Amino acid sequence: MSDILVVNSGSSSLKYQLIEMATERTLASGLIERIGEGAGRAVHTIPWDEVPSVDRADAPSTTERELPIPDHVAAFRVMLDAFEAHGPSLAEHRPVAVGHRVVHGGKRFFEPTVVTELVKINIADLAELAPLHNPANLQGIEAAEHVFPDVPHVVVFDTAFHQTLPPAAYSYAIDADVAEQYRVRRYGFHGTSHKYVSEQAALLVGRPLGELRQLVLHLGNGASITAIDGGRSVETSMGMTPLEGLVMGTRSGDIDPAVLVHLHRRAGYDFDALDTLLNKRSGLLGLAGTNDVRDVLESRAAGDPAATLAFDVYVHRLKAYVGAYFAQLGGVDVISFTAGVGENAAPVRAAALAGLERLGIELDASRNEVRSREARVISTDASEVVVLVVPTNEELEIARQTLEVVEA
Ligand code: ADP
């Protein structure tokens, strides 16, 4: 039996999922937070249908512990304890490999890769481009190697799917020598999700991936849109970092770069202050005081002007990208919405695609309102472009790619 442990390591958190590959079921998942911060917190969840029926009466499917977790190795030990105490047994479900999410693969990594010393050096070197993410990802890899020394570890990069972008899409129009020297170009992110969703979408519409022109709108706390031609990413809205493009929970997305110069000269903002402003205090949070689309929708429904503007700016930008990518692809067969906002926020989906009948896009209002965790069609039967909601599953995609590498 092949089980894969998927790990997503942040600077103070560790998310994990154990997936049984024969059935692609999640056997357990967990979140360990506040690593290195005094009072840590660990949540271990066994999906309800995995709890043996004999135990159900006294087996909570989620268990929670508070304890100090000094570092990532300690976090893995807490994870092992949780498996030991609440199951499933790792002796029975010994992972054949560990799959790690890594945010930035630069232009070096274009496919899932078995971890070696050289690979780790390269991930560390790419920290220059992703200072918040790559060092934390690497810490997780090293801790996992310590705890699982005799299984292969595989890294799956958020950027890898976008290695097929043509130079016209990935080059910034700046001094070419400066760009080359400092690796300034567009890389794109959320690739694992865009890949997974576009493949699911092809299955759902029952047509070969190779002949479809698709848009995938990954709208979570971070948000990006990708144009996919025959299964290959040809344009995506995030750039050298995950700041470019759409309006997000706390990130501005596109902005005139001269605004930074202005704020520096006029208001004395230094680079850290600008970084914080654009990454943490902008987007929906900056406009409406909350980064959660549920709250924005609620306040907007109550007539709050700031929430109304935040919603309008969000969908205005989204629609502009849909139009631009429609033009880049010369037509679109399938549009898929995914991630927290894309899967749940019907008003965002409706507003982003409103008035696009001339492009062959026609949403079915009642299908769009259906709440479900299943992939589904939300366009009318007459709509030339099929519009879908497809729940993303980045962990499963990482597990699939990990298994492919270790079986190869
Ligand atoms: P992340 O990018 O952190 O992985 P998710 O894909 O889980 O985020 O998306 C989180 C966001 O999804 C939340 O901040 C919230 O704005 C939005 N969201 C979640 N559920 C709903 C809902 N029922 N209606 C509208 N928005 C939702």
49 is known as an active-site residue = no
Closest ligand 1 atom to residue 392 Cα is 6
Assess whether 339 and 215 both reside in one domain.
yes
pLDDT, tens digit, 9 for 90 and up, residues 330-389: 999 999 999 999 999 999 999 999 999 999 999 999 999 999 999 999 999 999 999 999
Instruction: Tell me what percent of the residues of the chain surpass a pLDDT of 90.
Output: 92
Residue 187 lies in a domain: no
Assess whether 137 and 8 both reside in one domain.
yes
**Quick one: average pLDDT of 99-126?**
96
- Name the token pair of 28: 């357990």
pLDDT, tens digit, 9 for 90 and up, residues 37-78: 889 999 999 987 666 665 655 555 899 999 999 999 999 999
Please tell me if the CB atom of residue 220 comes closer than 6 angstroms to any atom of ligand 1.
yes
CB-based contacts of 316, cutoff 8 Å, min separation 6? none
pLDDT class for 132, splitting at 50, 70, 90?
confident
- Here the CATH number for the domain that contains residue 255 is 3.30.420.40
- Name the token pair of 143: 């801790």
Residue 217 lies in a domain: yes
Sheet with 386-389: strands ordered across: 232-236, 223-229, 213-219, 334-338, 386-389, 376-377
Residue 196 lies in a domain: no
Measured torsion, CA atoms of residues 81, 42, 2, 85, in degrees rounded to the nearest 10: 30
**Quick one: average pLDDT of 273-289?**
96
CA distances from 230 to 212, 234, 376 (A): 5, 10, 21
End position of a domain, from candidates 126, 157, 188: 157
| Averaged pLDDT of the chain | 95
Alpha-carbon gap, residue 123 to 331, rounded angstroms? 37
Residue 164 lies in a domain: no
- The least confident of 125-139, 161-175, 248-262 is 125-139
Assess whether 114 and 213 both reside in one domain.
no
Assess whether 377 and 262 both reside in one domain.
yes
Residue 405 lies in a domain: no
Alpha-carbon gap, residue 342 to 198, rounded angstroms? 14
Which of 344, 370, 390, 398 is the pocket-test mutation for ligand 1 (most atoms within 8 Å of CB)?
344
Assess whether 96 and 231 both reside in one domain.
no
Residue 88: give the domain boundaries. Answer: 3-157
Question: How many domains does one find in the chain?
Answer: 2
Assess whether 109 and 245 both reside in one domain.
no
pLDDT at 54: 59
Coil, helix or strand at residue 284: helix
Assess whether 237 and 97 both reside in one domain.
no
The terminus-to-terminus CA distance of the chain in angstroms comes to 17
Residue 91 lies in a domain: yes
Closest ligand 1 atom to residue 249 Cα is 14
Please tell me if the CB atom of residue 249 comes closer than 6 angstroms to any atom of ligand 1.
yes
Assess whether 251 and 381 both reside in one domain.
yes
Closest ligand 1 atom to residue 297 Cα is 25
Residue 201 lies in a domain: no
| Torsions phi, psi for 89 (to 5 deg) | -70, 125
pLDDT at 243 over 80: yes
